[in-house]
Amino acid sequence: MVVIFLIGVSWGAFRSAVGQEIRDGVWVRKAFSRLTWLAVGSADSFLLHLFLFCSYTRFMQYTLSIGAAAPTITIHRRLLAAFGAPLPPLRLDPLSQLVLALINVRTRDEVARAAFAGLALKFRSWDRLQHAAPDVIEPIIDRVTFPEKKAVTLPAALRAITARRGRLTLDFLDELPTDAARAWLTDIPGVGPKISASVLNFSTLQRRALVVDTHCKRVAKRLRLVPRPANDEKVSALLDGQMPSIWTAEDIFDHHRLLKQLGQTYCTATTPSCRSCPLRSLCPTGQARWAAPAKRLSDDRFAEPVMAVSSL
């Protein structure tokens, strides 16, 4: 590329200089013209081959942004065709979304929403929740996973916000760039990449941040979109980087919902239905599992580690 660029620049300068001198030399202009087209043709041909090389080489797909986004777009289209467009979220303010996300950890959505409604009814404002005793909170959220732990971490997280900002609000995040807002959120005790992304993407902030839950992580690893031994931070960062730059926050929300739906239906933790999965032709794990029935992988290979209580 550099050589072609330098040849082109030199040739253009030479042509310009000589062409000024020999204004009436028709043969010179024709020769210049043909050589120019030849050079352009070579450059085009080179770029075409470079494009094809970039399109088909996995290494380049991770390196170039257009290549990194390509598998995401294909997966998105397949899942849209299989499941239809997800319903838009009911957007809460950022602080309420944080409360919901904290009690939603390792808990089914409908159970978390019921607990969230119970807290809102009981305390009427999150300001009162931050000063509530754990033994008052726990009975209200007793159907979520690890209620005793969340009854402690939830008000502690709210108090941490008040301590840093002087009052309990996350509205100021609207004025921060997404990366800075995310960094601010992950400094709150108990807030990791998933919860920070949900505050930014699901709430009224509507930022470009992919929420990577257990289902999304499992699907991404089986599709080899991320390495299998990657931790939550790395998986979240890699998948976020694969979002097409033209996608809006709503597109990214849809992508999260579609991956999650796949993880809840076809790509379940212990018994993935690879045979009928809409992504099977794109999935190295699915193909390995079904291409050689005699060597089917044990379901143990699909099992996800159980999260420890201390990791909440």
Nearer to ligand SF4, 190 or 272 (CB): 272
Q: Does residue number 285 form part of the binding site for ligand SF4 (CB under 6 A)?
A: yes
**Minimal distance, residue 9 CB to ligand SF4, in Å:** 49
Q: Does residue number 272 form part of the binding site for ligand SF4 (CB under 6 A)?
A: yes
Per-residue x/- mask for ligand SF4, residues 249 to 268, rule CB under 6 A? -----------------xx-
Rounded-to-10 torsion of CA 115, 219, 182, 96: -20
Residue 88: helix, strand or coil by DSSP? coil
By Cβ distance, which residue is nearest to ligand SF4?
A: 286
* Tokens 């097409």 belong to residue: 244
In this structure, the number of other CB atoms found within 10 A of the CB of residue 205 comes to: 21
Question: What is the maximum span of the chain, computed from C-alpha positions, in angstroms?
Answer: 96
**Minimal distance, residue 274 CB to ligand SF4, in Å:** 3
From the list 88, 112, 146, the residue with the least C-alpha distance to 120 is 112
Q: Does residue number 188 form part of the binding site for ligand SF4 (CB under 6 A)?
A: no
Pick out residues in 200-229 that bind ligand SF4 (CB under 6 A). 219, 222-223
Q: Are 189 and 225 in contact (CB under 8 A)?
A: no
Nearer to ligand SF4, 181 or 283 (CB): 283
**Cα–Cα distance for residue pair 74/93, rounded to 1 Å:** 32
**Cα–Cα distance for residue pair 240/272, rounded to 1 Å:** 24
Nearer to ligand SF4, 45 or 281 (CB): 281
Q: Does residue number 280 form part of the binding site for ligand SF4 (CB under 6 A)?
A: yes
122: tokens are 């009981």
**Minimal distance, residue 255 CB to ligand SF4, in Å:** 14
Q: Does residue number 283 form part of the binding site for ligand SF4 (CB under 6 A)?
A: yes
Nearer to ligand SF4, 194 or 280 (CB): 280
**Cα–Cα distance for residue pair 241/17, rounded to 1 Å:** 47
Radius of gyration of the chain (CA): 27
**Cα–Cα distance for residue pair 47/52, rounded to 1 Å:** 9
Nearer to ligand SF4, 144 or 267 (CB): 267
Q: Does residue number 239 form part of the binding site for ligand SF4 (CB under 6 A)?
A: no
Q: Does residue number 79 form part of the binding site for ligand SF4 (CB under 6 A)?
A: no
**Cα–Cα distance for residue pair 33/41, rounded to 1 Å:** 12
Pick out residues in 44-63 that bind ligand SF4 (CB under 6 A). none
Binding site for ligand SF4 (CB under 6 A): 219, 222-223, 266-267, 272-274, 277, 279-280, 283, 285-286
